[in-house]
Structure 1
Amino acid sequence: MPSTKLNKLPLTMKAPWTNPEPLPDIPDGETNLLHRSAWSDVDKPLRIEICPWYEFPLDSGTERVDVFLDDDESTIIETRTWTLPMSEDDYYIELGAHKLPEGEHALSYIMTNFLELPARSYPFTLTVDKTSPRLAADSALIFPSEVKPPQSITAAYLAHPLNNDQVLASLPDYTDKKVGDVITWYWGISDSDFEQVDTLTLAIDDINGVLPKLTFTGDMIRDSGDGQRFALYQIEDRAGNISVLSDAAELNVNADPIPRVFPWPTIQNADSTGKNQILNPLIPYNYYVVEVPESAVIYPDDKLWVQWGDPNTFGAGRFDVPLSSNPLHFKIPMPSVAAYLGKTLQVYYGVEGVLETSDQTRLRVMKVEPTSYPPIQCEGTSGSTLKYSNIKADGAALTIEQWSLMTTDQVVQIKITGVSNVGNEAEVLYLPEYSVVESDLTHGIGLGRTIRVEKSFFNKLKRGENLTVRVFVSFDQGVTWPIIENFTKLYIKLSD
């Protein structure tokens, strides 16, 4: 057809379309991208379909369609001629792959009717991509130095909180990155015997920024077993063009976790019979220590903790800072020991982030005998005698020096029993409970005459008879009390 007749004809015919249809457009992707399967089969060329231009086909004559690209009416890439009448299903032209240049194109046609009159169609934009992604010259995945040979992927590496039970590999940059590229990565026992791990699809941020890392989960690595392993990948673009397989990254795997063993802990300086231990809190040493046994299987990055007593109960605590001299030894502060005087508690340990805990040690903290406490003192006594005439108007003050294992969690109760001057019956006085304060830890309690027996009580007592002063201490802020007094009883004879 002479080009002078086909120069910039007006657009009057409907635009063509393709069969198969292009892929759906995606944000930042190509327009009307054809999958390579639409044009790559030589036995099934791409069809350019056209809307019928006759409502009632003519009975004789010939008509022709010339297909061209990108507004160039003079360069025809395919032609088809029909002998009228035309079937309704016959309005198409087939294009071989070699006639479809790569890139984005406007596809148009000119229909020349039986009178040799041409008419031009509106364009149809499509994109043809025939180029496979080209991997980097050194295409192997890049793994962290901690796991690259001669190092291994170990159970400890996977268990570290920063690694989140996975290994991440960086993808080397490659040529012709496009939105919608699909990365598929593999794991296997050789560079030719492998299984798919996962896929990811690139977005515009991945193209413009840093390529996302590929994840190899701890479960997958462990399931594949220990030994020499290989990781590789392949890239397929949206058009279906597939890269070659990458170079294989070779790795050593030693991820089978060593079974944890958590034997019961030992309390330093305690008498021990297996899990049952007894601690004398008054043995002189600097502090109390719970020892995690060296036979415990602890991974290098484990963070240990020791539990002293049942959680959420008074005196209990979790301690996770080991002594600088030994990472398996944990200091227990004196107040936590004092809270359990005369009681039994459970002691065990564990690892942060691990549900399993150790066997429990049953520790009995011995009570402190009364003779180990300082005796209570009564103001105005001479020897063991208190003269009524020496008692001050506001009463007689009581004092107790500080004692071992004294803490501000302790509450003191003082009970005084005498003989009534009426009927020789017992006369009992309970002084108000007294909570130990910080200054008492240095000076003892009762200084400044803060604890007194009112003179009115002595008025009720028979002269020449003894009165008894008993001291009870609660070590848990008054929640529990001993049945008998903690301190040695004080006997005082009351005289005129």
Structure 2
Amino acid sequence: MSNLNDGVLELARPEIIGALPNFPGSENNLLPRALLFEPLKVAIPTWQELESPAFLTLWLGWNGQTLPVTEYYFEPPINPGLFPYTAEIAPQLFSQEGEYEVHYKLDIGGNEYVSHLNTFTVDRTPPNLGNPGPLPLFPQDLIERTITPEYLVAHNDEVEVTIARYLGQRPCDVITFYFGAATENNGLQISVHDSASDTVFKLKGDIIRAKGDGDHFAFYSLNDRAGNEGRNSRYQPIRVSGM
């Protein structure tokens, strides 16, 4: 940060409290769904020249428009222990999906200084646009969609299952796969690796044997990283025989 005497005050960007961690290919500062219904907390870092009165205005930008959210006045001498200072954005101001921009401006002695920009992302749409996913795909050599001990012996005691790529797929979405009754509530959770590929996983023989002989259903549900829940997929009948 430069000194005010130099005519420039470099202000660090505000931090979005409670946003999910970023990683390559992720949305920036994705908000968990639980945070969409309460004021969003934003941390304002400290600045130099705390001996001068300061007016701080928090700004929010979305869809090409920028508006002041709230204003704070700091009476000198400003206590450094106030920082990072927590400002809030009312939930109705980020009710629409998309990426929002956040920055703040300081007015010190009639001079205005603008902080670096930060962004956060609001996602309210379930994976696959909330539609049921297609059938889970089982291997073509699974004769008449029947799992037998002979099949498991020949395939390393597992059955390969494929979940086709779906609309809005993103890394770290969670597929919960169910095998058994149509009312099954104990699922196997699989993390999605990328946005472009089918998801392939191994259904272990122990799980299959625990269900026993008979007609079963294979299906799955989709959840994204923000916590949006999708509907159950279509049900694939699978028979287990000879266990």
Superposed pair shares fold, TM > 0.5: yes
Contact 1:64 1:111 in 2 (8 A): yes
Paired residue for 2:224? 237
Cα deviation for residue 197 of structure 1 reads 2.5
User: 1:425-481, CA deviations, whole angstroms, 9 ceiling, x for partnerless residues?
Assistant: xxxxxxxxxxxxxxxxxxxxxxxxxxxxxxxxxxxxxxxxxxxxxxxxxxxxxxxxx
TM-score by structure 2 length? 0.77
- For residues 321-349 of structure 1, the C-alpha deviation after alignment (integer angstroms, 9 at most, x for no partner) is xxxxxxxxxxxxxxxxxxxxxxxxxxxxx
- Pair 1:165-2:157 in alignment: yes
Residues 225, 94 of structure 1: alpha-carbon distance in 2 compared, 3 angstrom cutoff: same
For residue 174 of structure 1, what is the aligned residue in structure 2? 166
Give the gaps of 5 or more residues in structure 2.
1-7
The answer to whether the Cα contact below 8 Å between 1:102 and 1:128 also exists between their aligned partners in 2 is yes
Q: How well do the aligned residues superpose, as a CA RMSD in angstroms?
A: 3.2
**Quick check: 1:112–1:119 contact (8 Å CA) kept in 2?**
yes
Shift in alpha-carbon separation, 1:71–1:229, aligned structure 2, 3 A:
closer
Partner-residue secondary structure (3-state), 1:195: coil
Structure 2 residue aligned with 1:40, among 31, 36, 39?
36
1:142 to 2:134 alignment: no
Name 2:11's counterpart in structure 1. Answer: 13
Code of the aligned partner of 1:169: V
Contact 2:16–2:43 (Cα < 8 Å) also in 1: yes
Quote the Cα distance in structure 1 between the aligned partners of 2:132 and 2:228: 19
Distance 1:198 1:24, change over 3 A: closer
CA shift at 1:143, angstroms? 2.2
Give me the whole-angstrom Cα distance separating, in 2, the residues matched to 1:177 and 1:90: 36
Aligned length: 230
- Cα deviation for residue 123 of structure 1 reads 0.8
Cα distance change, pair 240–226 in 1 and its aligned pair in 2 (3 A): same
Which of 203, 214, 220 is the aligned partner of 1:216? 203
Structure 1 pair 28–64 and aligned structure 2 pair: CA distance change class (3 A): closer
Distance 1:123 1:193 in 2: 47
Partner of 1:152: 146
Give the SS at the match of 2:151.
Answer: helix
1:177 alignment partner AA: Q
Question: Structure 1 stretches of 5 or more lacking a match?
Answer: 1-9, 257-496
Counterpart CA distance in 2 for 1:75 and 1:117 is: 20
1:129 Cα deviation from its structure 2 partner = 2.7
Percent identity over paired residues: 27
Output the TM-score relative to the length of structure 1: 0.41
What SS is found at the alignment partner of 1:28?
coil
Distance 2:105 2:127 in 1: 36
- Aligned with 2:24 (options 18, 22, 27): 27
Q: Is the 8 A contact 1:147 1:251 kept in 2?
A: no
In 1, distance between residues paired with 2:141 and 2:68?
58
Matched position secondary structure for 2:24: coil
| Alpha-carbon shift at residue 234 of structure 1 (Å) | 2.0
Q: Distance in 2 between matches of 1:215 and 1:40?
A: 36
Displacement of 1:94 after TM fit? 1.2
Match of 2:239 in 1: 252
**Aligned to 2:71, which of 80, 84, 91?**
80
**Do the aligned partners of residues 215 and 201 (structure 1) sit closer, same or farther apart at CA in structure 2, a change above 3 Å counting?**
same
Give secondary structure in 1 for the equivalent of 2:71. Answer: strand
Aligned pair in 2 of structure 1 residues 64, 26: CA closer, same or farther (>3 Å)?
Answer: closer
2:105 to 100, 104, 110: 110
Query: Deviation at 1:55?
Result: 2.4
| 2:114 match | 120
The alpha-carbon deviation at position 75 of structure 1 amounts to: 2.4
Task: Quote the residue 2:187 is aligned against.
Answer: 196
Question: Paired residue for 2:3?
Answer: none
Match of 1:170, SS state, is strand
- Residues 187-212 of structure 1 show CA distances to partners (whole Å, capped at 9, x for unaligned) of 23x22233123423313xxx33x413
Letter in 1 for 2:226: A
**8 Å contact kept, 1:78–1:95:** yes
SS at 1:216 equivalent: strand
Structure 2 distance, partners of 1:112, 1:250, is 67
My pick for the range that moved more, 220-229 or 235-244, is 235-244
**Are the equivalent residues in 2 in contact too, given 1:136–1:174 (CA < 8 A)?**
no
Q: What secondary structure does 1:75 align onto?
A: strand
Cα distance in structure 2, aligned partners of 1:103 and 1:153: 45
8 A contact 2:179–2:219 mirrored in 1: yes
Does the 8 Å CA contact 2:136/2:162 hold for their aligned counterparts?
yes
- Equivalent position of 1:477 in the other structure: none
Taking the aligned partners of 1:170 and 1:158, their CA distance within structure 2 comes to: 17
Which of 185, 190, 205 is the aligned partner of 2:177?
185
Give the direction of change, closer, same or farther, for the CA distance of 1:57–1:104 in structure 2 (3 Å limit): same
1:341-360 correspondence to structure 2 within 5 Å: none
Q: CA deviation at 1:174?
A: 0.9
- 2:62·2:99 contact (CA, 8 Å) conserved in 1? no
Q: CA deviation at 1:145?
A: 4.8
